[in-house]
Amino acid sequence: MPLFQKAVFHTTVAHLRDLPTDAVAEVAFAGRSNAGKSSAINTLSGRTRLAFVSKTPGRTQHLNYFTLAEGKYFVDLPGYGFAKAPEEIRSQWEGLIGPYLSKRAPLAGLVVIMDSRRPFTDLDLKLIDWFRPTGRPIHILLSKADKLSRQDQTKILRSVKAEIALWGDAELYSVQLFSSLKKTGVEEAETVLARWLDIEMPKKAAKENKGPPDKGGPGAKMP
């Protein structure tokens, strides 16, 4: 059962002045258009249409807030790198997204979704290089991992880990494979985001603490 299954849409923000004032902690999701950002949010919440998956890349141009618990939010940022976008839409990254990412006090960390088949595009690197000076953590989801063979998954993950190792503080930067289609990598992502948001992870039933199964069957003699 998804940790963030209670997530509900809260509000859409077009101006910094409209940011929720009750926020205690929030996690922002960023990614190149069609990298699978909205699908990742839907998968983590166990929903199919919590975050809208647009058929026209780059059309969602505001901050979409989703409530997880009191004062705690997921924030869906506009996709970047879309083609044929009007200049005024591209410039919104400077007028809204940039100030939000650099100055938003409750922002606990940034999740960057990259297509595992094409990680670290120029735009991905520009966003990361711009965000890193904030000192906040970055977690990379290598999406659509189901499109790769096991061998290629291992190769890509190793390559990305080598890249982020060059950034310095290992506690700030992390990466994992993720597939919305196969629902793989969900628990790993939940562990990171729960820590950022200070949300307690549910304790698993300790199977090893249970006694051995009754092998006597329906006709077994009772003591």
pLDDT digit string, tens, across residues 17-61: 999 999 999 999 999 888 989 899 999 998 766 766 544 444 457
CA angle 32, 71, 201 (to 5 degrees): 80
222 pLDDT above the threshold of 50: no
Structure-block tokens of residue 171: 């506690």
Per-residue pLDDT, averaged over 109-138, amounts to: 94
Instruction: Give me the residue label for tokens 């965000």.
Output: 131
pLDDT at 56: 44
For 206, phi then psi, to 5°, come to -80, 95
With CA atoms as reference, report the closest residue to 75 among 30, 128, 105, 125: 30
pLDDT digit string, tens, across residues 142-179: 999 999 999 999 999 999 999 999 998 889 999 999 99
Query: Domains in the chain and their CATH numbers?
Result: 8-204 (3.40.50.300)
Q: Picking from 31-40, 85-94, 165-174, 183-192, which range would have the lowest pLDDT averaged per residue?
A: 85-94
Residue 66: CB partners within 8 Å, gap ≥ 6? 7, 8, 9, 10, 41, 45, 50, 51, 73, 74, 75, 76
193 close to 41: Cβ distance less than 8 angstroms: no
pLDDT at 91: 64
With CA atoms as reference, report the closest residue to 5 among 202, 214, 178: 202
207 pLDDT above the threshold of 80: no
pLDDT at 33: 82
